Amino acid sequence: MSETYAGPLERIDDTRWRIPRSYKPQMRVDGIIYADDTLMETIRADKSPEQVANVACLPGIVGYSLAMPDIHWGYGFCIGGVAATDPEEGGVISPGGVGYDINCGVRLIRSDLELADVQPRIAQLVATLFDTVPCGVGRGGRIKFDPGQLRRLMVEGSQYVVRAGFGWEADLEMTEARGCLPEANPDYVSRRALERGEDQCGTLGSGNHFLEVQVVEEVVDPVAAAAFGLRVGQITLMIHSGSRGLGYQICDDALVDLRSAPKKYGIELPDRQLVCAPIQSPEGQRYLGAMRSAANFAWANRQILTHLAREVLASFFGRSAESLGLRLVYDVAHNIAKMETYEIGGRKRTLCVHRKGATRAFPAGHPEVPLAYRHVGQPVLVPGDMGRCSWVLVGQPAAMEKTFGSCCHGAGRVLSRTAAIKAAKGRSIEKELLARGVVARARERTGLAEEQPEAYKDVSVVAEAVHAAGIARKVARLRPLGVIKG
């Protein structure tokens, strides 16, 4: 269905391309895409640059409409899109700038285990994780919350479930925003959203969500790696999940609720999926209150998934999670809108930063970076496909100057799901992965075919692009050993 982008793209330098404001009369700022020449070939092949230009039309947008190197076609905003809007200048909040899976994100857990401890038993370990961690379409969790508990969970996020025994106090320090956005308001969460999410906290979901057992294969930045507790040969766990049905429905509800807002506030939009409202309007505040509730739900979800994984590993190796050193390295959101303060033109401005398939990448010294990492910067977790690798990066000062403290979030798809299924015909993706040293289990029949490595860009190319652009630096490469998917 996709068409190629035929609009202007002006090279700024080796890793940046500009869509000039003159491209469309409604554009208020330039669009900037971060990509090298190789990535730009695939980026031009869909309409995602058009979406970067459309986002540049939003009222109150500051600086640029940005896209990271893993850009691909999304809804309203492209995936990999970043936009900051200023509430003092009529800036808007757009659910399309967050996405349906609110606070979809990634967390990385390190261990004291070595490759030799895990590799001989990886098939059994993956099978045990697969049997224990709820995954798959609509799959309910083992842990139930009554309506009152669910409400507190949406207000308090990870902090609520850690206090309930699903994790360690130290996990909170290593979670973006300490796993809780303030001013969440569950009163703005619909009954239908609660129904879709009520038994899903502590479930992985399906699609590209996963739990992966990995080994640190390469350390590029020894100082940052040491700060993050990472070393070559060490076993790590990576979890990718979000706010499940609750978040999907909150976004869907908001797109209906905000439908009349553009007309009411005199906002002209080039794409109705960019529907938005001024941040300070009642409609904007309703969405923000509900979106923050979903964000907190997602952090609680990944926290419970961490707890379940710790339980599995403790039982499997016959040692406590503490003695296995299963410590959270970091948890980052990559579908979220947050109020953050930036110095622009010598003036501090608090902006609403939309990150849609983009990861926060704060540098050394930033007060929101955990104390233990403040001398190096915030870990940026960039998962790749299940056959190649994932990357740990670290935020750099240039991110604050150029990208509102943002970086890429993953590899980005290159094959549609139907094309991936066709490409998998006559093959066993499971066997192919095994030949590459990866044990994979998936709940849905088509799961492995749709998520096969060839369906994604090489995440190393994406990581190299942000490294070269100076917005994040490469720290360590992680190779998958086993993966469970929905």
Partner 1 sequence: MTETYELLEHTADMGVRARAATLAGLIRPCTAGLYAVIGQLVPTGDAQPWQFEVVGDDIALLLRDYLGEVLALFAADGQLIEIREVPEFSAQRLTVLGLRRPADPQRSIVQREAKAVTYHELSVREVPGGYEAVFIVDI
| Site residues (vs partner 1, CB under 8 A) | 1-2, 46, 72-76, 79, 100-101, 136-138, 192, 195-196, 205-207, 245, 248-249, 251-252, 255-256, 259, 271-273, 275, 413-414, 416-419, 444-447, 450, 486
> Residue 374 half-sphere exposure, CB side, CA atoms within 13 Å?
9
CB of 168 to partner 1, least distance (A): 30
Bridge partners, 235 (sequence order): 215
Cβ-based neighbour number of residue 266 at 10 Å? 8
Q: Do residues 235 and 338 touch, judged by C-beta distance below 8 A?
A: no
**What is residue 276's DSSP assignment?**
-
CB of 23 to partner 1, least distance (A): 20
Nearest CB to partner 1, comparing residues 59 and 205 = 205
Please name the residues in contact with 370: beta carbons below 8 A apart, sequence gap of 6 or more: 173, 174, 330, 378
Nearest CB to partner 1, comparing residues 154 and 230 = 154
CB of 356 to partner 1, least distance (A): 12
CB of 94 to partner 1, least distance (A): 12
Q: Which helix (H) or strand (E) holds 429?
A: helix 429-435
CB of 444 to partner 1, least distance (A): 5
Query: What sign results for the dihedral spanned by CA atoms 401, 404, 408, 409?
Result: positive
CA-based end-to-end distance of the chain? 26
Dihedral of CA atoms 268, 19, 350, 172 in degrees, nearest 10, equals 110
Q: What is the DSSP string of 235-269?
A: EEEEEEE--HHHHHHHHHHHHHHTTTHHHHTT---
Nearest CB to partner 1, comparing residues 344 and 414 = 414
> Would you please indicate which residues are annotated as catalytic (active-site) residues?
409
Nearest CB to partner 1, comparing residues 376 and 442 = 442
Q: Do residues 175 and 298 touch, judged by C-beta distance below 8 A?
A: no
Nearest CB to partner 1, comparing residues 398 and 415 = 415
